[in-house]
Amino acid sequence: AAVAAGLCAIAQGSDGGGSIRGPASCCGLVGIKPSRGRVSWAPVGDYLSGISANGPIARTVADAAALLDVMSGYSTGDPYWLPDPNPTFLEAASQKLGKLRIAFSTAVFPVGEASPVCQQAVLDTVKLLTDLGHDVEPGCPDFTGLIEPFTAIWQSGASASGIPGPALEPMNRWLLERTISAGEYLRAVNQMQVISRRIVGFFQNFDLLVLPTYMHSPIRIGEWADLSCEETLANIVNWIAPCPPFNASGQPAIALPAILDSHGLPVGIQIIGRPAAEATLIALAAQMEAAKPFPVL
């Protein structure tokens, strides 16, 4: 919100289930969730089994790319890492692209179809990409079976934080009370990794995938305040459904502004790339931005 309001040009965010991409889309901004290992978590260790990543939020693709260049890199002892990009991400923002094969979907399985306005954001993006000369066709990985292990890993995060229950917000306190055993945690990690292989395998036939960022427009402040924690969690899981699969798989994704809804609220899309292919995402996003400038709030 500070970036969208012009208080600063760029900001850092963390994304363990969409927390860069979602806020960026809700504020009409560009947000990049990098590949696993692109940005070091030093001095701390692996967080949430590698599903969380630090990345940039900005008003333009080039600004986001420049901050990602600054953030990226190996730190001694990192459990996983990627080589430095060549060219740099900022240089990638001005690279020319050949024809790409791009899949798209307005639905996320097994959750279902996005709201009409989020579907329209995807379809408008498909038209733009087609006009730019790319091959675009329907397609999406099947995310069946991911919700349960992913949620279990998040539940373990509440316990691992070490924050006493009374100091937590009600939702996190509720998660803490449902802490899972070590065996259940390891089974959840294994299930998530097996499903991730299926997700990444989809990209053997496509360079990129276009999805809604969220399944419907931003909610009103306090809209879910009277719901139980269980109901709130179910609503959150359904709303953010397009985001967590790529935290699980460790793939890079970029959220871009697309359209405004009937209330003037921003609605964004996300584009997901192959592992370690941030440069392709950034080059395409810059091409899209030049061809059709993002909506101005």
Average pLDDT score, the chain? 95
Nearest to 158 by CA among 244, 226, 233: 233
Residue found under tokens 């998530």:
192
- Count of alpha carbons within 13 Å of 135, Cβ hemisphere only? 8
Q: What's residue 175's pLDDT? A: 83
CA distances from 12 to 16, 53, 170 (A): 14, 11, 26
With 90 as the cut, is the pLDDT of residue 124 above it? yes
d(Cα 279, Cα 93) in Å, to the nearest integer?
8
With 90 as the cut, is the pLDDT of residue 170 above it? no
The two tokens of residue 215 are 């399944």
d(Cα 58, Cα 23) in Å, to the nearest integer?
11
As a residue count, the chain comes to 297
Q: Give the 3-state secondary structure of 38-90.
A: CECCCCCCCCHHHCCEEEEEECCHHHHHHHHHHHCECCCCCCCCCCCCCCCHH
Bigger pLDDT: 18 or 44? Answer: 18
Q: What's residue 166's pLDDT? A: 83
d(Cα 54, Cα 43) in Å, to the nearest integer?
13
Q: What's residue 204's pLDDT? A: 98
With 90 as the cut, is the pLDDT of residue 168 above it? no
What superfamily does domain 10-291 belong to in CATH? Amidase signature (AS) domain (3.90.1300.10)
Instruction: Quickly list DSSP for 10-46.
Output: EEEEEESSSTTHHHHHHTT-EEEEPPTTSB--TTS--
